[in-house]
A and B are shown apart, each in its own frame.
Chain A
């Protein structure tokens, strides 16, 4: 069984540019989560999808972040325009029960 995959693994962009991160959950998992870890700090929740619906987006930092999950399969997280403080590792996780399975993360660097 394939695990959670994320693309790209690394992204370096300039301030003001747009970046789109993608997450493919484990097949059949209805729940999909986005988290972010800023260097040296805790992994913080961003939002939670159940199928294609946003169940909880209380962790989204501001309106420069837009997450979608069309068709309830893969999800994208777009940052537009990117700011320096958006740098960090963005993790995706999926679940069908209590345990969340994490992807390898996308390391985003905004210069």
Chain B
């Protein structure tokens, strides 16, 4: 079975600090990778996704993620966080033969002004 690990459960940063959230997955086949964000009181929204091609993908709001196949990782990065980035971030995986998503436990990010 597939599984997704997010190593950081709670992250607190000051504005302008750089962010990297770890995500590792276990699955031997071809996968699609996603990062979703849930701002306080809002829906889960897609930040970015990787299906194939350039392993460095850029998403909305200045976020990017790098797929490293050899490490089974898809870490999320942002060079300079803002207070408005305070949210919960979820890494998710699905196989290209299946539809269900496998999510990590989520990382709660608090950005201090």
Contact = CB atoms under 8 A, between A and B. Distances in A.
Interface string B40-59: 00111110010100000000
Interface string B67-104: 00000000000000000000000101000001111111
Nearest to A45: B100
Nearest to A31: B99
Interface of B: 4, 32, 34, 36, 42-46, 49, 51, 90, 92, 98-106
Nearest to A56: B100
A70 interface: no
A27 to B, nearest CB: 17
Interface residues of A, number: 25
A55 B99 contact: yes
A105 B90 CA distance: 15
Nearest to A91: B44
B43 A59 contact: no
Across the A-B interface, give the 10 residue pairs with the lowest CB-CB distance, nearest first.
A102-B44, A43-B103, A45-B100, A42-B105, A42-B103, A104-B43, A102-B43, A48-B99, A42-B104, A48-B100
Contacts of A93: 101
Contacts of A91: 44
Given A40-B105, A42-B4, A102-B43, A33 B90 contact: no
A1 interface: no
Contacts of A43: 90, 92, 101, 103, 106
